[in-house]
Homo-oligomer: A and B are copies of this chain.
Amino acid sequence: MVIARSALGKLRGKYDSLSTTEKRIAQLALNSPSTVSEMTIRELASAAGASTASISRFVKRLGYANYREFTMELAHVVVVDAQEGAKLFKELGEGDSLGVIANKVFHSSMASLEATNDALSENDIARAVLKLINAGTVNFFGLGGSSIAALDGYHKFVRTSLNVAYHPDYDIQLMQAAKLTADDCAVVISHSGKNYETIQIVKELKANHVPIIGITSYSGSPLARAATVTLLSLTDEIKYRSEGMYSLISQIAILDSLFMMTVLRSSSRTQPVLMHVRDVIERTREEP
């Protein structure tokens, strides 16, 4: 199989065998492929001081079927080049355009999702799902920035057959926690995992032996230690001013996953999945 030579390669390769006029044309294409790729045959002809006929013959001699094919390949060259150069934007530079800022934000989010996904263990997920679908009531807890994720969890799960509860107010969350039992399930969300009020809630839950699904970014945090199952919402390593920003998206994606799995449970066709959940749990009784 013959490797596809780039347009510039062909140009350089045949350069010596070209006539004077054709060399002029080739020169133009080699010097500024991007410009030439956008020219019509007439424009190129006049730029090279040649006739359109010469250009037409020129591209055929290079092996292209027609002029359009030639410009197309020139354009490819341009793209590849541009990408090589653009690779490496790490940090947000001071003079960055809005487009670059947007790119950076989106890619940080995507990196956070990727990291979070990588860190999830099937075993933990399975245990979490089992707790959820067997719970009398499912209760979401989250304060400050994490209240958004908690609210989202409520919004999603309220569509299922589960009994769910969430209250934005801290005092009510605390009272709610006091009412739960070992038959219920609590989903506690906290980026840092050590917010004082959140920990008060966790203590209350522990006192009542309520199963806790903790969603936090720090595996060593009080929340992570106290939780029955911990799901980590990792963030992209490059931090801006507000590091909690990208963890929200990871938190939500975790909730999405739990939601999807819970929904699938009710579908009879996906009963096998549920069986599999139990299997996974049986198979791994050791625990962290």
Q: Which residues of A contact B (CB under 8 A)?
A: 1-3, 37-38, 68-69, 71-72, 75-76, 79-80, 83, 94-103, 105-107, 109-110, 113-114, 116-117, 120, 122, 125-126, 129, 145, 147-148, 151-152, 155-156, 159, 240-242, 245-246, 248-249, 252-253, 256-257, 259-261, 263-264, 269-270, 272-273, 276-277, 280
Cβ-defined partner of A102 (8 Å) among B71, B110, B257? B257
Cβ-defined partner of A145 (8 Å) among B97, B147, B155, B269? B155
Contact A106 B98 (CB under 8 A): no
Could you list 19 further interchain pairs (A-B, Cβ under 8 angstroms) beyond the known A3-B103, A106-B114, A245-B259?
A2-B97, A3-B100, A37-B72, A71-B72, A94-B270, A95-B273, A98-B125, A101-B257, A101-B264, A105-B253, A106-B113, A106-B117, A107-B117, A110-B110, A110-B113, A113-B113, A148-B148, A151-B151, A159-B242
Given the known interface contacts A106-B114, A109-B256, A253-B106, the answer about A152 and B98 at a Cβ–Cβ threshold of 8 Å is no
Contact B117 A102 (CB under 8 A): yes
Q: Which residue of B lies closest to A153 (CB)?
A: B148
